[in-house]
Chain A
Amino acid sequence: MKFALQTQERRLDLTVLPMVNVVFLLLVFFMLVGRVGPKEELDVDPPLSQLGQTESGHAIRVEIDRSGVMVLDGRKVDTTELIIAVSDLLRQDPATQIQLKADAGLDANLLIKLMETLRLIGVAKLTLVTEHAT
Protein backbone atom coordinates (compact mmCIF):
# COMPACT_ATOMS: atom_id res chain seq x y z
CA MET A 1 0.00 0.00 0.00
CA LYS A 2 2.70 2.42 1.05
CA PHE A 3 4.90 1.25 -1.81
CA ALA A 4 2.16 1.98 -4.34
CA LEU A 5 1.72 5.50 -2.97
CA GLN A 6 5.44 6.18 -3.20
CA THR A 7 5.76 5.13 -6.85
CA GLN A 8 2.72 7.23 -7.72
CA GLU A 9 4.37 10.26 -6.15
CA ARG A 10 7.62 9.57 -7.90
CA ARG A 11 5.80 9.24 -11.21
CA LEU A 12 4.10 12.60 -10.63
CA ASP A 13 7.49 14.15 -9.88
CA LEU A 14 8.95 12.69 -13.04
CA THR A 15 6.15 14.00 -15.27
CA VAL A 16 6.19 17.51 -13.74
CA LEU A 17 9.93 18.11 -13.94
CA PRO A 18 10.34 18.14 -17.75
CA MET A 19 7.38 20.49 -18.02
CA VAL A 20 8.95 22.82 -15.45
CA ASN A 21 12.19 22.70 -17.43
CA VAL A 22 10.42 23.66 -20.64
CA VAL A 23 8.51 26.45 -18.90
CA PHE A 24 11.78 27.79 -17.51
CA LEU A 25 13.36 27.73 -20.95
CA LEU A 26 10.38 29.58 -22.44
CA LEU A 27 10.55 32.12 -19.62
CA VAL A 28 14.25 32.77 -20.19
CA PHE A 29 13.64 33.03 -23.97
CA PHE A 30 10.87 35.61 -23.60
CA MET A 31 12.88 37.59 -21.04
CA LEU A 32 15.94 37.78 -23.28
CA VAL A 33 14.39 38.18 -26.74
CA GLY A 34 11.37 40.35 -26.03
CA ARG A 35 11.50 43.99 -25.05
CA VAL A 36 9.16 45.21 -22.36
CA GLY A 37 8.12 48.75 -23.05
CA PRO A 38 5.34 51.17 -22.20
CA LYS A 39 1.95 50.30 -23.58
CA GLU A 40 0.97 51.99 -26.80
CA GLU A 41 -2.31 53.79 -27.12
CA LEU A 42 -2.73 53.66 -30.87
CA ASP A 43 -2.53 50.95 -33.47
CA VAL A 44 0.50 52.18 -35.41
CA ASP A 45 2.44 50.20 -38.04
CA PRO A 46 5.65 52.13 -38.72
CA PRO A 47 6.96 52.19 -42.31
CA LEU A 48 9.44 49.53 -43.41
CA SER A 49 12.98 50.69 -44.10
CA GLN A 50 16.37 49.07 -44.53
CA LEU A 51 18.37 52.04 -43.33
CA GLY A 52 17.14 52.81 -39.85
CA GLN A 53 19.64 53.01 -37.02
CA THR A 54 19.14 51.57 -33.58
CA GLU A 55 17.63 54.02 -31.14
CA SER A 56 20.09 56.10 -29.16
CA GLY A 57 19.39 58.21 -26.14
CA HIS A 58 16.11 59.15 -24.58
CA ALA A 59 13.49 60.70 -26.83
CA ILE A 60 9.94 61.90 -26.35
CA ARG A 61 7.72 59.72 -28.51
CA VAL A 62 4.74 61.05 -30.40
CA GLU A 63 2.49 58.45 -32.00
CA ILE A 64 0.44 59.28 -35.06
CA ASP A 65 -2.04 56.79 -36.47
CA ARG A 66 -3.38 56.33 -40.00
CA SER A 67 -6.07 58.98 -39.61
CA GLY A 68 -3.74 61.58 -38.08
CA VAL A 69 -4.70 61.17 -34.40
CA MET A 70 -1.71 62.09 -32.23
CA VAL A 71 -0.83 60.68 -28.81
CA LEU A 72 1.79 62.15 -26.47
CA ASP A 73 2.47 60.50 -23.10
CA GLY A 74 -0.57 58.26 -23.42
CA ARG A 75 -3.00 61.09 -24.03
CA LYS A 76 -4.61 62.27 -27.26
CA VAL A 77 -3.49 65.74 -28.32
CA ASP A 78 -4.22 68.09 -31.22
CA THR A 79 -1.52 70.14 -32.95
CA THR A 80 -1.90 73.15 -30.62
CA GLU A 81 -1.65 71.02 -27.47
CA LEU A 82 1.35 69.21 -28.92
CA ILE A 83 3.12 72.50 -29.68
CA ILE A 84 2.46 73.76 -26.13
CA ALA A 85 3.68 70.49 -24.56
CA VAL A 86 6.82 70.34 -26.72
CA SER A 87 7.67 74.02 -26.07
CA ASP A 88 7.40 73.32 -22.34
CA LEU A 89 9.76 70.37 -22.70
CA LEU A 90 12.17 72.49 -24.77
CA ARG A 91 12.18 75.20 -22.12
CA GLN A 92 13.23 72.62 -19.53
CA ASP A 93 15.81 70.98 -21.79
CA PRO A 94 16.68 72.58 -25.16
CA ALA A 95 18.27 69.31 -26.33
CA THR A 96 14.99 67.36 -26.12
CA GLN A 97 14.76 64.74 -28.84
CA ILE A 98 11.42 64.02 -30.46
CA GLN A 99 10.67 60.64 -31.97
CA LEU A 100 7.72 60.41 -34.33
CA LYS A 101 6.09 57.04 -34.66
CA ALA A 102 3.86 57.49 -37.67
CA ASP A 103 1.75 54.85 -39.38
CA ALA A 104 2.98 53.76 -42.82
CA GLY A 105 -0.38 54.66 -44.33
CA LEU A 106 -0.50 58.21 -42.99
CA ASP A 107 -0.58 61.05 -45.52
CA ALA A 108 3.08 62.09 -45.87
CA ASN A 109 2.24 65.78 -46.21
CA LEU A 110 0.53 65.73 -42.81
CA LEU A 111 3.66 64.25 -41.24
CA ILE A 112 6.03 66.67 -42.97
CA LYS A 113 3.87 69.65 -41.97
CA LEU A 114 4.10 68.44 -38.36
CA MET A 115 7.89 67.99 -38.66
CA GLU A 116 8.21 71.53 -40.04
CA THR A 117 6.13 72.89 -37.17
CA LEU A 118 8.28 71.08 -34.61
CA ARG A 119 11.42 72.45 -36.26
CA LEU A 120 10.01 75.97 -36.14
CA ILE A 121 9.51 75.81 -32.38
CA GLY A 122 13.13 74.73 -31.99
CA VAL A 123 13.35 70.92 -31.87
CA ALA A 124 17.00 70.16 -32.67
CA LYS A 125 16.75 66.42 -33.11
CA LEU A 126 13.79 64.80 -34.80
CA THR A 127 13.66 61.12 -35.69
CA LEU A 128 11.14 58.91 -37.42
CA VAL A 129 10.52 55.36 -36.21
CA THR A 130 10.74 52.64 -38.86
CA GLU A 131 10.38 48.89 -38.79
CA HIS A 132 13.54 47.13 -39.91
CA ALA A 133 12.96 45.29 -43.18
CA THR A 134 14.86 42.05 -43.60
Chain B
Amino acid sequence: MSLHSYGQLKDREIEEAARKRRSLVILTPLVDIVFILLIFFMLASSFSDHRVIGFLTPAGAKQAIGSEQPSAVLVRVDADGSLDMSGQPMSTVHIAQEVARRSLSDHTLGYLVQPNRGVSVQQVIDVVDLLKSSGARNVSLASRSGS
Protein backbone atom coordinates (compact mmCIF):
# COMPACT_ATOMS: atom_id res chain seq x y z
CA MET B 1 0.00 0.00 0.00
CA SER B 2 1.48 3.34 -1.04
CA LEU B 3 1.70 6.23 1.34
CA HIS B 4 -0.76 8.19 -0.80
CA SER B 5 -3.58 5.66 -0.76
CA TYR B 6 -3.11 5.07 2.97
CA GLY B 7 -3.65 8.76 3.51
CA GLN B 8 -6.85 8.65 1.42
CA LEU B 9 -8.16 5.74 3.40
CA LYS B 10 -7.49 7.54 6.64
CA ASP B 11 -9.31 10.63 5.38
CA ARG B 12 -12.38 8.62 4.51
CA GLU B 13 -12.33 6.95 7.89
CA ILE B 14 -12.21 10.27 9.68
CA GLU B 15 -15.00 11.64 7.51
CA GLU B 16 -17.19 8.64 8.27
CA ALA B 17 -16.56 8.93 11.98
CA ALA B 18 -17.41 12.62 11.86
CA ARG B 19 -20.63 11.93 10.00
CA LYS B 20 -21.62 9.36 12.54
CA ARG B 21 -20.94 11.75 15.36
CA ARG B 22 -22.97 14.44 13.59
CA SER B 23 -25.96 12.12 13.12
CA LEU B 24 -25.88 11.34 16.85
CA VAL B 25 -25.82 15.07 17.64
CA ILE B 26 -28.93 15.65 15.52
CA LEU B 27 -30.80 12.75 17.10
CA THR B 28 -30.51 13.85 20.73
CA PRO B 29 -32.61 17.08 20.69
CA LEU B 30 -35.21 15.29 18.59
CA VAL B 31 -35.49 12.55 21.19
CA ASP B 32 -35.76 15.19 23.92
CA ILE B 33 -38.64 16.92 22.17
CA VAL B 34 -40.40 13.65 21.43
CA PHE B 35 -40.11 12.74 25.11
CA ILE B 36 -41.56 16.08 26.15
CA LEU B 37 -44.45 15.69 23.69
CA LEU B 38 -45.05 12.15 24.93
CA ILE B 39 -45.22 13.28 28.54
CA PHE B 40 -47.52 16.17 27.60
CA PHE B 41 -49.97 13.91 25.77
CA MET B 42 -49.83 11.29 28.52
CA LEU B 43 -50.73 13.83 31.18
CA ALA B 44 -53.15 16.05 29.24
CA SER B 45 -55.29 13.49 27.44
CA SER B 46 -58.28 11.80 28.96
CA PHE B 47 -59.45 8.35 27.97
CA SER B 48 -62.93 8.39 29.47
CA ASP B 49 -65.73 7.77 26.99
CA HIS B 50 -68.20 10.54 27.73
CA ARG B 51 -71.65 10.59 26.15
CA VAL B 52 -74.64 12.84 26.65
CA ILE B 53 -78.33 12.23 27.28
CA GLY B 54 -80.58 14.99 26.03
CA PHE B 55 -83.69 16.00 27.94
CA LEU B 56 -86.37 17.96 26.19
CA THR B 57 -87.14 21.24 27.84
CA PRO B 58 -90.52 22.99 27.37
CA ALA B 59 -89.02 25.37 24.79
CA GLY B 60 -87.55 22.47 22.81
CA ALA B 61 -90.49 20.14 23.40
CA LYS B 62 -92.95 22.56 21.83
CA GLN B 63 -91.09 22.32 18.52
CA ALA B 64 -90.64 18.56 18.71
CA ILE B 65 -94.10 17.41 19.78
CA GLY B 66 -96.36 20.26 18.76
CA SER B 67 -98.91 22.03 20.90
CA GLU B 68 -100.72 18.96 22.22
CA GLN B 69 -99.67 17.80 25.64
CA PRO B 70 -98.94 14.05 25.57
CA SER B 71 -100.08 11.96 28.49
CA ALA B 72 -97.40 10.80 30.87
CA VAL B 73 -96.85 7.95 33.29
CA LEU B 74 -95.22 8.71 36.62
CA VAL B 75 -92.36 6.41 37.66
CA ARG B 76 -91.14 7.01 41.18
CA VAL B 77 -87.72 5.90 42.42
CA ASP B 78 -87.01 5.24 46.08
CA ALA B 79 -83.62 5.53 47.79
CA ASP B 80 -83.47 1.74 48.35
CA GLY B 81 -83.90 1.20 44.60
CA SER B 82 -87.56 0.15 44.61
CA LEU B 83 -89.72 1.53 41.82
CA ASP B 84 -93.38 2.25 41.41
CA MET B 85 -95.29 3.04 38.25
CA SER B 86 -98.52 5.03 38.47
CA GLY B 87 -98.48 4.38 42.22
CA GLN B 88 -98.11 0.58 42.00
CA PRO B 89 -94.86 -0.97 43.26
CA MET B 90 -93.21 -2.96 40.47
CA SER B 91 -89.99 -4.83 39.81
CA THR B 92 -87.62 -3.67 37.06
CA VAL B 93 -88.53 -6.67 34.89
CA HIS B 94 -92.25 -5.94 35.31
CA ILE B 95 -91.72 -2.26 34.43
CA ALA B 96 -89.72 -3.18 31.32
CA GLN B 97 -92.57 -5.47 30.15
CA GLU B 98 -95.23 -2.87 30.93
CA VAL B 99 -93.34 -0.11 29.07
CA ALA B 100 -92.76 -2.38 26.07
CA ARG B 101 -96.48 -3.28 26.01
CA ARG B 102 -97.64 0.34 26.27
CA SER B 103 -95.17 1.70 23.71
CA LEU B 104 -96.58 -0.74 21.14
CA SER B 105 -99.99 0.95 21.26
CA ASP B 106 -98.87 4.54 21.91
CA HIS B 107 -95.28 5.54 21.26
CA THR B 108 -95.79 9.19 22.12
CA LEU B 109 -96.56 8.21 25.70
CA GLY B 110 -94.33 10.16 28.07
CA TYR B 111 -92.65 8.90 31.20
CA LEU B 112 -91.88 11.13 34.13
CA VAL B 113 -89.16 9.88 36.46
CA GLN B 114 -89.50 11.27 39.96
CA PRO B 115 -86.79 10.45 42.51
CA ASN B 116 -87.56 10.34 46.20
CA ARG B 117 -85.41 11.98 48.85
CA GLY B 118 -81.83 10.64 48.94
CA VAL B 119 -81.86 9.09 45.46
CA SER B 120 -78.58 9.57 43.59
CA VAL B 121 -78.19 10.72 39.99
CA GLN B 122 -76.88 7.25 39.08
CA GLN B 123 -80.13 5.58 40.27
CA VAL B 124 -82.22 8.01 38.19
CA ILE B 125 -80.07 7.45 35.10
CA ASP B 126 -80.43 3.68 35.61
CA VAL B 127 -84.24 4.08 35.54
CA VAL B 128 -84.04 6.33 32.45
CA ASP B 129 -81.87 3.65 30.80
CA LEU B 130 -84.41 0.96 31.74
CA LEU B 131 -87.36 2.94 30.33
CA LYS B 132 -85.58 3.94 27.12
CA SER B 133 -84.22 0.47 26.43
CA SER B 134 -87.74 -0.95 26.89
CA GLY B 135 -89.07 1.32 24.17
CA ALA B 136 -90.03 4.61 25.82
CA ARG B 137 -89.26 7.56 23.54
CA ASN B 138 -90.15 10.49 25.72
CA VAL B 139 -88.60 10.35 29.19
CA SER B 140 -88.33 13.42 31.39
CA LEU B 141 -87.38 14.09 34.97
CA ALA B 142 -89.51 15.64 37.67
CA SER B 143 -88.48 16.82 41.10
CA ARG B 144 -90.19 15.58 44.24
CA SER B 145 -93.41 17.47 44.85
CA GLY B 146 -93.90 19.33 48.10
CA SER B 147 -90.27 19.76 49.10
Contacts and interface: CB of A to CB of B under 8 A. Distances in A.
Given A106-B120, A109-B115, A125-B60, A55 B27 contact: no
B125 A47 contact: yes
B143 A113 contact: yes
Contacts of A127: 52-55
B41 A130 contact: no
21 contacts: A2-B17, A9-B24, A23-B38, A30-B38, A33-B47, A34-B44, A35-B45, A36-B44, A47-B122, A51-B51, A102-B121, A104-B120, A106-B120, A108-B123, A109-B117, A109-B119, A111-B124, A127-B52, A128-B53, A130-B50, A130-B52
Contacts of A79: none
A18 interface: no
B20 A27 contact: no
B57 A124 contact: yes
Given A104-B122, A112-B143, A16 B47 contact: no
A60 to B, nearest CB: 13
Contacts, number: 169
Interface of A: 2, 5-6, 9-10, 12-13, 16, 20, 23-24, 26-27, 30-31, 33-37, 46-55, 99, 102-109, 111-113, 115-116, 118-119, 122-132
B107 interface: no
Interface residues of B, number: 52
Contact of A108 (B35, B37, B42, B119): B119
Interface of B: 13, 17, 20-21, 23-24, 27, 30-31, 34-35, 37-38, 41-42, 44-55, 57-60, 77, 115, 117-126, 128-129, 132-133, 141-144, 147
Contact of B48 (A13, A51, A103, A131): A131
A12 B121 contact: no
B50 A129 contact: yes
Q: Which 9 A-B pairs have the closest CB atoms?
A: A34-B45, A52-B51, A30-B41, A104-B122, A108-B115, A127-B52, A132-B49, A47-B125, A119-B57
